Structure 1
Amino acid sequence: MNTYEEKILDELKKWEIEMCKRPSLWNKATKSVQTKINEKIPQKVHDVITTSMKHMIKATLIGSEYTTKRTIKFTADLRERDYKLQERLAFYKKTAAVEGAGTGVGGILLSLADFPLLLGIKMKFLFEAASIYGLDVRDYKERIFILHVFRLAFSDPHKKKEAFEKVVFWKETIEEFPARPDSIDQMNWQELQQDYRDHIDLIKMLQMVPGLGAIVGAYANYHFLEDLGQVAQNCFRWRLLMDENSKLHKHKKHPR
């Protein structure tokens, strides 16, 4: 392991502590308010939103424009992959900001259209990020991994440790899913959409305010991609380093 990889491992250890820490008082207070609001929303509304989000994400996970991404071969080292990721993240942050500003200008109706558009940008970024770190996104197992990365990025603070462990103990996690592409249906879709909505709802409500919409939309979308980019990079770094370490030990154990 080279010096750069050792540096990244130190960063990942700090990230692990951040992901596993207990929710703050602010998190607890915010969750209490959001729970009360969600309880007042009829279950039928939750069902409709859950189904819509499930279909949007599933369409992304099986869409050819995403699953045909070219995987960067393992000849590239971690430093090169990190550089490429930051380069593409900068592009997606700008794209999301422009989209947020555009829909924010239009008030309530266009702000509602921002939900699927922003979701599409996030998923497209995740597929490209996965390819940068060597994952074959044509493999349905890797697409389920991408979905778990998405879940971790927008998880409820009270569930973040659990979502984190699903990612870092991936070999155990993927065993929970049958060996077929439709195993993605086993995801808890209502929990996923609820956590995602809770994560973005408050600031997205401000996007609907006349005069503030464009500014808030651009700012919010930019930072949503920034947060997603950080989580995604660390998840894919972890996978890459752990996979390489596993291969190294296997080679030492069974030399030719």
Structure 2
Amino acid sequence: METKQELQTALEETDLWIEDQKKAWFWEKWTRLPFKLLDKITPEFVHKKVGAFLDEMGSYIQNGGKYLTSQKMVYKSIEKKSGSPINSIEDITKLRLEEMDMLSKDLAGSRRKAAAVQGATTGIGGLFTLSIDIPALLGISLKTLQEIALIHGYDPNEKKERIFIIKCLQFASADIVGKRAILDNLAAYYDGEGSTNEIMAQIQGWREVVYTYRDQFGWKKLFQMVPVAGIVFGAFTNRAMISDIAEAGSFLYRKRRIIDRMRSIEEPQSAKS
């Protein structure tokens, strides 16, 4: 394991990234406008598709549903890349932080490629295949974050962990005000306090997550609504979005692992004194 000083340095590096995410960018004030205008001309079947997926998101938070990833497959992948035998979550927690970082980067790379293919495929039909792209991209996002959770030694089978995953999804798509609020919500995880019910109440309705997520990339999807030309734009925007989500999940989970590891070092010392 890392020394306390090494963990402190890693925590400072992670916090620098988080602080950078709190800075406002000039386009944040207008990124949601296109989709709000497009809502007025979007066919009803697209809205129904989004509505159906909202219900699936609720199911995911409660029991994982069809979006719950296969832990055994993730274990095999981690074992192959790390060279260490992995049979449980406990085995993963013994990996060094740099190994977790490497695994997260490898995962992000493969998922970016998958998202690009997905975006190109659904971009063929323009507006009419956008209803397929939104839930498909959200599905890739959830599985990516679940695997990042496992890479850092956290079990997405636990309801509390699935709520954290939704928070990561929110963070990646939130504006500057939203990011700050989400980081405040996540304090319970970093402090090792707070019940599942308390954290669930902070999410303020999982429906808000999907609407925020959709609005945030509205302007990016504007050109994907053009048939055929949407192939290029769909591939590019999906790749960029999964990159943002994987980055957010990796840093937020990295901070949790560092803090948990520092706590495990400090507790024995406190007991001795």
TM-score (norm 2): 0.78
Please identify, of 1-10 and 109-118, the stretch whose mean Cα deviation from structure 2 is larger.
Answer: 1-10
CA-to-partner distance for each residue in 1:150-186, whole Å, 9 max, x for gaps? 1111112221111122224425797364289xx5796
User: 2:34–2:219: 8 Å Cα contact kept in structure 1?
Assistant: no
User: 1:168–1:238: 8 Å Cα contact kept in structure 2?
Assistant: no
What SS does the aligned partner of 2:68 have? helix
Question: Hey, what's the Cα distance between the residues in 1 that align with 2:36 and 2:242?
Answer: 28
User: 2:69–2:143: 8 Å Cα contact kept in structure 1?
Assistant: no
What SS does the aligned partner of 2:157 have? coil
How many residue pairs get matched?
250
Q: 1:206 aligns with which of 197, 216, 223?
A: 223
Q: How does 1:165-244 map to 2 (within 5 A)?
A: 165-170=184-189, 175=194, 177-178=196-197, 187-244=204-261
Q: 2:13 aligns with which of 11, 14, 26?
A: 11
Question: Hey, what's the Cα distance between the residues in 1 that align with 2:37 and 2:219?
Answer: 12
What SS does the aligned partner of 1:158 have? helix
Amino acid at match of 1:12: T
Q: 1:75 aligns with which of 86, 90, 94?
A: 94
What SS does the aligned partner of 1:159 have? helix
Amino acid at match of 1:26: W
Give the aligned partner of residue 138 of structure 1.
Answer: 157
What SS does the aligned partner of 2:226 have? coil
User: 1:96–1:222: 8 Å Cα contact kept in structure 2?
Assistant: yes
> Given the superposition, is the C-alpha separation of residues 198 and 167 from structure 1 closer, same or farther in structure 2, using an over 3 Å criterion?
same
> Given the superposition, is the C-alpha separation of residues 103 and 51 from structure 1 closer, same or farther in structure 2, using an over 3 Å criterion?
closer
What SS does the aligned partner of 2:142 have? helix
Question: Hey, what's the Cα distance between the residues in 1 that align with 2:185 and 2:107?
Answer: 26
CA shift, 1:11, in A, is 2.1
Q: Structure 2 unaligned runs (5+)?
A: 76-88
CA shift, 1:81, in A, is 0.9
Question: Hey, what's the Cα distance between the residues in 1 that align with 2:224 and 2:35?
Answer: 22
> Given the superposition, is the C-alpha separation of residues 109 and 48 from structure 1 closer, same or farther in structure 2, using an over 3 Å criterion?
closer
TM-score (norm 1): 0.82
1:127 aligns with 2:129: no
CA shift, 1:98, in A, is 0.5
Give the aligned partner of residue 52 of structure 1.
Answer: 52
Q: Structure 1 unaligned runs (5+)?
A: none
Question: Hey, what's the Cα distance between the residues in 2 that align with 1:178 and 1:103?
Answer: 38
Question: Hey, what's the Cα distance between the residues in 1 that align with 2:130 and 2:218?
Answer: 12
Give the aligned partner of residue 270 of structure 2.
Answer: 253
> Given the superposition, is the C-alpha separation of residues 162 and 186 from structure 1 closer, same or farther in structure 2, using an over 3 Å criterion?
closer
Question: Hey, what's the Cα distance between the residues in 1 that align with 2:210 and 2:203?
Answer: 14
1:157 aligns with 2:173: no
| Percent of paired sites with the same residue | 26
CA shift, 1:73, in A, is 2.1
Question: Hey, what's the Cα distance between the residues in 2 that align with 1:35 and 1:211?
Answer: 20
The Cα RMSD (Å) is 3.4
User: 2:111–2:140: 8 Å Cα contact kept in structure 1?
Assistant: yes
Question: Hey, what's the Cα distance between the residues in 2 that align with 1:36 and 1:104?
Answer: 20
Question: Hey, what's the Cα distance between the residues in 2 that align with 1:140 and 1:186?
Answer: 13
User: 1:166–1:173: 8 Å Cα contact kept in structure 2?
Assistant: no
> Given the superposition, is the C-alpha separation of residues 247 and 190 from structure 1 closer, same or farther in structure 2, using an over 3 Å criterion?
same
